[in-house]
């Protein structure tokens, strides 16, 4: 089952192996570069003479239900996206929109091409946007691997989730079911059913059901598991169901043997309080 333990800096790393989450110690975020030019292209593009970035919103997103007043994407925000990159002739040069994973990027941090740093501003969660990027804000005069020099690029981008600047260690909760009886307080020992899923995915990565009915029992406020999850239990009542939204700054997952599990994303943990003492 899921064993949650907190490290000194309260950053948890979990290892996902065959639908089971085990502690693996802390890790840093993976290094990010410009959207990689994959090796899937059989034909190349050429300079098309775009003068500026063109942004076309195919689907307008909205704030997270956990953060109703969340502002649109801006510089400094951490975005989790799925995308397809292609040339004017339609040939795809890179994509991650078919394997369930997400690509993480901090806007304005020079982790991606300027066409992305500028073109993703203003998006909301669930939004889908087509970007037309002039070569000067793409890979420039030199090109990159299988991107020819001075080539305009096109991207279909979906914003799966995002974490606002300086909110990397902030979690949010929603009560799905209120429950009855006294409220959980720090120092109480609780037993919960749980489910865990990644942003933008409906499938459950790990749960009491997947683990053959094994529940989790822990003492709230003793750092036995993810701090945010312990904190999220405070105020729950027996039979209550609460869901917590956890940024990657509070919970990281390393996938081993389970396809489509992002190494970094926003995680959602749903808890049902079965017992408290």
Q: What is the pLDDT of residues 159-176, one digit of tens each?
A: 999 999 999 999 999 999
Q: Of 94, 144, 161, 172, which one is the catalytic site residue? A: 94
pLDDT category, 22, cuts 50, 70, 90? very low
How high is the pLDDT of residue 47? 52
Q: Of 103, 113, 125, 206, which one is the catalytic site residue? A: 113
Specify whether 83 is catalytic. Answer: yes
pLDDT surpassing 60 at residue 3? no
Specify whether 268 is catalytic. Answer: no
How high is the pLDDT of residue 255? 58
Specify whether 113 is catalytic. Answer: yes
Q: Of 83, 103, 171, 218, which one is the catalytic site residue? A: 83
Name beta bridge partners: 94. Answer: 85
How high is the pLDDT of residue 31? 35
Specify whether 171 is catalytic. Answer: no
Q: Of 4, 80, 87, 93, which one is the catalytic site residue? A: 93
**How confident is the model over 81-100, as pLDDT tens digits?**
999 999 999 999 999 988 77
Which token pair is 103?
């690509």
pLDDT surpassing 80 at residue 17? no
Q: Of 4, 154, 155, 268, which one is the catalytic site residue? A: 155
**pLDDT: is 256 or 89 the higher one?**
89
Specify whether 57 is catalytic. Answer: no
How high is the pLDDT of residue 101? 85
How high is the pLDDT of residue 225? 87
How high is the pLDDT of residue 226? 87
Among candidate residues 100, 139, 120, the one with its CA nearest the CA of residue 263: 100
Name beta bridge partners: 217. Answer: 191
In percent, the amount of the chain with pLDDT more than 70 equals 81
Specify whether 139 is catalytic. Answer: yes
Q: Of 4, 87, 103, 139, which one is the catalytic site residue? A: 139
pLDDT surpassing 70 at residue 181? yes
């Amino acid at each position: 089952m899921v064993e949650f333990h907190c490290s000194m800096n309260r950053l948890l790393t979990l290892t996902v192996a065959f639908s089971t989450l085990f502690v693996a110690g802390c890790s840093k975020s993976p290094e990010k570069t410009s959207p990689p030019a994959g090796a899937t292209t059989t034909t190349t593009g050429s300079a098309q003479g775009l003068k500026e970035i063109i942004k076309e919103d195919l689907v307008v997103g909205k704030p997270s239900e956990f953060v109703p007043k969340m502002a649109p994407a801006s510089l400094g925000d951490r975005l989790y996206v799925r995308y397809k990159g292609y040339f004017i002739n339609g040939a795809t040069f890179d994509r991650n929109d078919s394997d369930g994973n997400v690509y993480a990027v901090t806007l304005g941090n020079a982790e991606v091409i300027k066409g992305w740093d500028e073109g993703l501003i203003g998006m909301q969660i669930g939004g889908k946007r087509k970007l037309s990027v002039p070569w000067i804000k793409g890979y420039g005069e030199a090109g990159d691997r299988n991107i020819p020099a001075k080539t305009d690029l096109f991207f279909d981008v979906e914003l799966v989730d995002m974490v606002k600047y300086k909110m990397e260690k902030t979690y949010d909760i929603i009560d799905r079911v209120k429950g009855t009886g006294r409220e959980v307080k720090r120092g109480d020992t609780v037993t919960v059913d749980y489910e865990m899923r990644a942003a933008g995915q409906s499938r459950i990565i790990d749960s009491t059901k997947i683990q053959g009915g094994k529940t989790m029992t822990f003492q709230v406020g003793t750092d036995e598991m993810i701090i945010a999850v312990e904190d999220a239990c405070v105020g729950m009542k027996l039979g209550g169901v609460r869901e917590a939204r956890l940024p990657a700054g509070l919970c990281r997952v390393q996938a081993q043997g389970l396809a489509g599990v992002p190494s970094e994303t926003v995680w959602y943990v749903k808890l049902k309080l079965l017992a408290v003492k």
